Amino acid sequence: VKEEVESMRALLVTLLHVSAKRAESEIEYLMPGYTHLQPAQPIRWSHWILSHAWRWKRDLERLDDLNKRVDKMPLGSGALAGHPFNIDREALAKDLGFSGLCMNSLDAVSDRDFIAEFLFFGTMLGIHLSQWAEDLIIYGSGEFRYVAMSDAYSTGSSLMPQKKNPDALELLRGKSGRNIGDLIGLLTTLKGLPSTYNKDLQEDKELLFDCVDTLNACIPIATGVMSTLKPNPERMRGGLAGEMLATDLADYLVRKGVPFRETHHIAGEAVALAEDRGCDLMDLKHADLQPLHEAFEPDVESVWSMEASVECRSAIGGTSKAAVLSQAKALMAEIGSLGQK
């Protein structure tokens, strides 16, 4: 398990490096951000990439944390009562490369916490990869076409020659269910066991090996997809709509001293006005908006800018150019420190 943990963390570090570098290099691309799968506010494509990278970084932290419990040696515990010849277990642990010992022989012969934790790590990583894959499947569909998959990670249809299916992403999404099953299987086995060793515990091997094999296949595929993905910034920008600036309109009034509980309603009236006129929200002029509230001034038309919208969200964690580049830099720094372990 120790060897697999080290191998897997190297794969994760590579995926994080690729993601951070891509976010830096494609910082200028703007796209719609979604909530409830509905267009919400403009964001940077790089902001979206990093939103998934930070999840993977938490997965890496979980892997490092569980390694402390993997690194305890059970050898010398006997069947359950301990070793009868008073061997030097500390010297043995040092020779075998363990940092410490399992300190109770009854616990040592039955402890499978580290396997359960590994399977939980694998489950969370699988879920995070699945969510990332689902986003890309949607963004790559014919209705969106924000991204295009490399031929190396997609296939044609066996019947319809025009199709290009995101098979690699669909498999990543599907494999997450397998990881969940491995975790639930082990927890179900463990829940009713009496103290010390029971034969039920042999079930841990198949579940652990399956999870390791699955992740060792999935992480490099995710890295390959991230490395070869082709974004379509024109399509992304084409998905931006004036209604996505409704919150910016409300924020404009907040800056004029109007409470947000009022500006939210006023911005909704502006959206309704545009709908009634059959025009885009961005087509409304100062003269159109002024009757809605006296705080609207001629400079309100400066709100109608996607670039201004993303750039005003400059607090740490936001989607402005400086904030996103700072994110990427911070992620690279944390990867660097984690990579030294």
| CB distance 24 to 328 below 8 Å | yes
Residue 47 is among the residues annotated as catalytic for this protein: no
Amino acid at 270: A
Select which of 141, 157, 195, 302 is catalytic: 157
157 noted as active-site residue:
yes
Q: Which residues pair with 164 in a beta bridge?
A: 156
Question: In the structure, how many helices (H) and strands (E) does the chain have?
Answer: 13, 8
Q: What is the dihedral of CA 104, 108, 111, 114, to 10 degrees?
A: 100
Q: How far apart are CA 185 and CA 207, in angstroms?
A: 8
- Three-class secondary structure of residue 132 per DSSP: helix
Q: Are 73 and 98 in contact (CB under 8 A)?
A: yes
Q: How far is CA 104 from CA 65, 84, 268, 341, in A?
A: 21, 14, 65, 28
Encoded tokens for 2: 């120790």
* Helix (H), strand (E), coil (C) string for 182-226: HHHHHHHHHCCCCCCCCHHHHHHHHHHHHHHHHHHHHHHHHHHHH
Active site residues: 36, 157
